[in-house]
Chain A
Amino acid sequence: MWKHREEAPGSTSGSDSVPSPLQPAVVPREFDQPRGQLPAVKDAPLSVGRSVVIKGELSGDEDLTIEGRVEGTIELRNHVLTIGLNGHVDAQVVAKSIVVLGRVTGNLTATEKVDIREQGSVEGNIMAPRVAIVDGAEFRGSVDMQRKASAPPTDQGVGSLTLDAKVPLSTMPAGNGEVARV
C-alpha cells in the first residue's frame, strides 16, 4: 500500500502540479488505518444545516452547532451547544455550555455557562452558574445563577455597604449631587 508522506505545507516534491507516477495525487488517510478500524473524524464539529428541521429529542456526546431548526428537546450534558446565526430552536435545552447567536424559545439549562451574543434572542428561563448577555441581545425570561450555598441572612450588605436599620435614613449624609432627602 502507498505510504503517506509527511511534508511541510507548501513544500513541493519534484514537479509542482504533476503527481509522480509512483505517488497518488490524493492519499486517503484511511489507507493508513489498520484494517477493520474506521477513521476517527474529530476535527469537524457536528452541525445541523440551515435546511434541516428536527422535531423530537436530540441528544449526543459531542459539541453541536445548529444552523437549522430544532423543536423538542436537546441534551448535550457534557458538551457545547451553539445556536448559530441562522439557527432557530424551540426546545428545552440542557448542555454544558450554550452559545446563542440565533433565536431560542424555551428554557436553557447549562452546567457551566450560557452566552447570548449580540444578535441572539432568547425567550425562556436560564439556569446556569454563569450567564453572559451582551447589550443588544434580546432576552425575556428569568435568570437563575444557582448560587451554590446561599448565605444566611445577615445585616452585612454588599461590599462595603452595611445595613444599619437603627440609623434613620434621613440622617444619613446626602450623596454627591443630591439636593435633599424629601
Chain B
Amino acid sequence: MNRVTAVSPEPVSRSTTLATFLTLLCARPAAEVVDLGSVVGANITFLGDRIGCKIHVEDFYADLDRHARQDGLDQVADFLKSRFSHLDESIDAILCWDVFDYLDRAAAHVLAGESVRMLRPGGILLAFFGGGRSSDLHYTRYCIVDETHLRHKFHAAACHRRLVLQNREILNLFGKLAVLDSILLKSGVRELLFQKPTN
C-alpha cells in the first residue's frame, strides 16, 4: 500500500492484499464480512452491491474512543472478550484495517483470538500493522475505491497509535491462521492477509 497521491488530503494507495482479499471473498457465495473499521458507506456499497456480501459494521474505533474518553483504554481487553456476538466459525472474512495499532498487547491478543474464533474454515482476515507510534489523534477511514485501491480519509480520534508489533509477534497473534500474503511497504506498514485452515 503505497501513497500514489501523497500531497492529497485524502491519499489513494494501491493494495495488492486487498485485491487478493476481494478475489477470495468473491469465491465464497453469500459471504458474511465483519468490518472492524469506521462506518464507510462506499465500502458497504462496494461489498454489498458488487460482491454481494452481508456486512457487519462494528466500528471498533468508536469503542476505542469511548474507552479513551472514560480513561479506560486499559480495560479494552476485558471489553473485547464479550464485544462480538457472532457465533463461532460464522464469518467468512474480517477487515481489521489498522485497528491493532491502537491496542495494547493484551487487547491485541483478545481481538486476534476473537477474530480466529469467528472465522469459518477457509475464512480470510486482512490487517495492516506498523503505522508507527504516534501522538496524532486521528483514525484512518479506508475507503475502497476499486479492487486495488484504497482512499485514506482521516478523522479525529480520542486515542493514538500505541503498538508497534514486530513480524514475529504478529505471526504469534494469529498462530492458528496461515499467512496468505505479507507485504512490507516503503512506509513501514505491513499488510497481512491470513486464512483459517480448512480442517
A residues apposed to B, CB below 8 Å: 116, 130-135, 137-145, 147, 150-163, 169, 172, 174-182
Task: State whether B54 touches A163 (Cβ < 8 A).
Answer: no
Task: State whether A177 touches B27 (Cβ < 8 A).
Answer: no
Interface size class on chain B is 35 or more
Task: State whether B27 touches A155 (Cβ < 8 A).
Answer: yes
Query: B74-96, CB under 8 A of A: which get 1 and which 0?
Result: 00000000000000000000000
Q: Given A139-B59, A177-B1 in contact, is the A157-B22 Cβ separation under 8 Å?
A: yes
A selection of 14 A-B contacts at a CB cut-off of 8 Å is A131-B45, A141-B56, A143-B54, A151-B29, A160-B147, A163-B24, A169-B20, A175-B2, A176-B2, A177-B2, A179-B184, A179-B185, A182-B167, A182-B184
Which of the segments B11-19, B98-106, B110-118, B131-139 contacts the partner chain?
B11-19
Chain A residue numbers with a CB within 8 Å of B27 are 153-155, 157, 163
Chain A residue numbers with a CB within 8 Å of B187 are 177
Choose one: B16, B24, B39, B51; the contact of A138 (CB below 8 Å).
B39
In the complex the two chains form, what is the Cα distance from A141 to B2 in whole Å?
31
List B28-45 residues whose CB lies under 8 Å from chain A. 28-30, 32, 39-41, 44-45
Q: Given A150-B52, A179-B184 in contact, is the A133-B39 Cβ separation under 8 Å?
A: yes
Chain B residue numbers with a CB within 8 Å of A131 are 41, 44-45, 48
Task: State whether A157 touches B23 (Cβ < 8 A).
Answer: yes
Measured CB to CB, the nearest residue on chain A to B55 is A143
In the complex the two chains form, what is the Cα distance from A145 to B62 in whole Å?
24
Task: State whether A163 touches B48 (Cβ < 8 A).
Answer: no
Choose one: B19, B39, B49, B186; the contact of A135 (CB below 8 Å).
B39
Chain A residue numbers with a CB within 8 Å of B62 are 138, 140
Measured CB to CB, the nearest residue on chain B to A149 is B52
Chain B residue numbers with a CB within 8 Å of A153 are 27-29
Task: State whether B182 touches A181 (Cβ < 8 A).
Answer: yes
In the complex the two chains form, what is the Cα distance from A135 to B151 in whole Å?
13
Task: State whether B52 touches A147 (Cβ < 8 A).
Answer: yes
Choose one: B22, B141, B167, B183; the contact of A178 (CB below 8 Å).
B183
Q: Given A140-B59, A159-B147 in contact, is the A130-B49 Cβ separation under 8 Å?
A: yes
Choose one: B15, B20, B55, B190; the contact of A142 (CB below 8 Å).
B55
Task: State whether A139 touches B57 (Cβ < 8 A).
Answer: yes
Chain A residue numbers with a CB within 8 Å of B49 are 130, 145
In the complex the two chains form, what is the Cα distance from A155 to B20 in whole Å?
12
Task: State whether B45 touches A135 (Cβ < 8 A).
Answer: no
List B169-186 residues whose CB lies under 8 Å from chain A. 180-186
Chain A residue numbers with a CB within 8 Å of B190 are 182
